[in-house]
C-alpha cells in the first residue's frame, strides 16, 4: 500500500486487546468485524500473507481489476465479484497496475463464522463469488465501516457484527443460488409467481418465457429455491392463506378461491400437509388480529 493511503479512503481497525475481549463475550463472540474499509482506485495496493490472516477476509471489487494467488491458484477479481479468503490461508493479492481496483472490504472472526465459510468457500480455501447484488454488498460494508467510525463501544461492535452477518448471508445465498446469469431468469420467474400465485402457471410456460428448456429451467429453479415450481407456488399460496385466516372472517371456501384453489376440500388437504392442521384449526389457534 502507498504510505499515505488512497485519496478518499476509509479505514477502521479495532485494537487487538478490544478484539480479544469482544470475542470473550456474547453476542460479538459469535461474529465480530475487526477491520473494514474502502479503497478507491487503490494503485499499488496489495498484501502478502505467507501464513494467512487470523480473520476471514471479504473484498468486494466495484471497479478496476485485482489479482489473488492462494493455494497454488490464481484468480482475476473483476467488478461485481467478492474475494473470500478464510482464516490462516496463505495468500497474495494486489491491484492491477493498469486498472487499479476499487474495493470495499472487511475482516470477520468469531465462533459462528465457520458455517458461512463452509458454504462460500466449501473446500476451505479462497473463493471468488459473483454477486447478484453488488450494490447491497457495498451498502452492507459501508454500514459496518460507519458503525466502527462512530465509536468502539459494544453497541457499535454489535451493529457492525450485524452488517457482517448480512454480508456473509448474502454471499452464501449467492453461492447456493448460482451466478447472476444463472439466477436472473429464475429471479424473474419467482417475481412472476409472487404476482400470480393464485393463477395456474405451468413449468413449460415459465421455461418458454425464460428462453430455456423445461428440464434446464426446472433444474435451475430447484437449485435456486430448494424445490420445484409447484412446491414454491404452494408455499406462496399458503402464506397468503395464513394471512387471510388470521386477519379476516372470510369462510374457508372464499379463502381457498382467493389463493388459487377452486376446491375447498383440496385446499384444506394441502393446508394440512404444510401446517399439520386444518385451516379452521389454524384460525382458532391464532385468532383475528
- The CATH number of the domain holding residue 43 is 2.60.120.280
Same domain assignment for residues 172 and 195: no
* pLDDT at 288 > cutoff 60: no
Contact predicate 282/242, CB 8 Å = yes
CA 282 to chain centroid, in Å, comes to 32
Coil, helix or strand for 102?
strand
* Predicted local distance difference test score (pLDDT) of residue 3: 47
Same domain assignment for residues 42 and 14: yes
C-alpha cell at 283: 384460525
Same domain assignment for residues 192 and 142: no
* Predicted local distance difference test score (pLDDT) of residue 181: 60
Higher-confidence residue of 260 and 187: namely 260
Q: What is the mean pLDDT of the chain?
A: 92
Same domain assignment for residues 145 and 197: no
* pLDDT at 132 > cutoff 60: yes
* Predicted local distance difference test score (pLDDT) of residue 2: 45
Residue 182: pLDDT band by 50, 70, 90 thresholds?
Answer: low
* Predicted local distance difference test score (pLDDT) of residue 179: 62
Residue 183, domain member (yes or no): no
Residue of 89, 48, 86 whose CA lies nearest to 67: 48
| CA separation for the pair 53, 63 (Å, rounded) | 24
Contact predicate 250/258, CB 8 Å = yes
Residue 182, domain member (yes or no): no
E strand or H helix that includes residue 118: helix 113-120
Same domain assignment for residues 41 and 167: yes
Q: Taking the complete model, does pTM exceed 0.85, yes or no? A: no
Same domain assignment for residues 170 and 202: no
Residue 5, domain member (yes or no): no
Same domain assignment for residues 119 and 14: yes
Residue 29, domain member (yes or no): yes
* Predicted local distance difference test score (pLDDT) of residue 225: 85
Which one of 125, 152, 177 terminates a domain? Answer: 177
| DSSP label at residue 89 | -
Residue of 4, 94, 98, 89 whose CA lies nearest to 53: 89
| CA separation for the pair 126, 89 (Å, rounded) | 8
* Predicted local distance difference test score (pLDDT) of residue 152: 96
Same domain assignment for residues 192 and 173: no
Residue 111, domain member (yes or no): yes
* pLDDT at 4 > cutoff 70: no
Residue 4, domain member (yes or no): no
* pLDDT at 245 > cutoff 50: yes
Residue 237, domain member (yes or no): yes
The CATH number given to whatever domain includes residue 277 is 1.10.10.60
Domain count, the chain: 2
* pLDDT at 105 > cutoff 80: yes
Same domain assignment for residues 164 and 216: no
C-alpha cell at 10: 476509509
* Predicted local distance difference test score (pLDDT) of residue 211: 81
By mean pLDDT, which of 24-28, 125-129, 204-208, 277-281 is the weakest?
204-208
Distance set, CA 227 to CA 97, 223, 230, 234 (Å)? 45, 7, 8, 11
- Tell me which residue range forms the domain holding 232: 188-286
Amino acid at each position: 500500500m502507498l504510505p499515505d493511503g488512497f485519496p478518499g479512503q476509509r479505514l477502521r481497525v479495532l485494537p487487538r486487546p478490544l478484539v480479544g475481549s469482544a470475542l470473550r463475550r456474547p453476542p460479538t463472540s459469535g461474529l465480530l468485524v475487526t477491520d473494514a474499509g474502502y479503497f478507491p482506485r487503490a494503485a499499488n495496493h496489495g498484501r502478502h500473507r505467507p501464513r494467512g490472516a487470523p480473520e476471514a477476509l471479504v473484498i468486494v471489487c466495484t471497479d478496476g481489476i485485482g489479482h489473488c494467488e492462494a493455494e497454488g491458484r490464481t484468480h482475476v477479481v473483476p467488478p461485481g465479484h467478492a474475494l473470500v479468503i478464510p482464516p490462516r490461508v496463505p495468500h497474495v493479492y494486489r491491484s492491477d497496475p493498469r486498472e487499479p481496483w476499487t474495493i470495499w472490504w472487511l475482516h470477520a472472526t468469531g465462533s459462528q463464522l465457520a458455517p458461512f465459510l463452509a458454504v462460500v468457500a466449501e473446500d476451505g480455501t479462497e473463493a471468488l463469488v459473483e454477486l447478484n447484488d453488488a450494490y447491497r454488498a457495498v451498502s452492507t460494508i459501508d454500514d459496518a465501516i460507519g458503525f466502527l467510525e462512530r465509536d468502539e463501544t459494544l453497541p457499535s461492535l454489535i451493529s457492525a457484527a450485524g452488517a457482517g452477518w448480512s454480508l456473509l448471508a448474502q454471499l452464501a445465498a449467492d453461492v447456493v443460488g448460482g451466478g447472476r446469469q444463472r439466477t436472473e431468469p429464475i429471479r424473474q420467474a419467482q417475481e412472476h409467481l409472487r404476482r400470480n400465485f393464485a393463477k395456474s402457471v405451468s413449468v413449460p410456460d415459465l421455461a418458454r418465457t425464460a428462453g430455456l428448456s423445461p428440464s434446464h429451467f426446472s433444474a435451475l429453479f430447484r437449485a435456486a429455491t430448494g424445490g420445484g415450481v409447484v412446491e414454491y407456488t404452494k408455499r406462496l399460496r399458503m402464506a397468503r392463506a395464513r394471512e387471510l385466516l388470521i386477519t379476516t372472517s372470510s369462510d374457508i371456501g372464499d379463502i381457498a378461491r382467493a389463493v388459487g384453489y377452486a376446491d375447498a376440500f383440496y385446499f384444506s388437504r394441502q393446508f394440512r400437509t404444510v401446517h399439520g392442521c386444518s385451516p379452521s384449526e389454524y384460525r382458532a389457534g391464532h385468532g383475528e388480529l
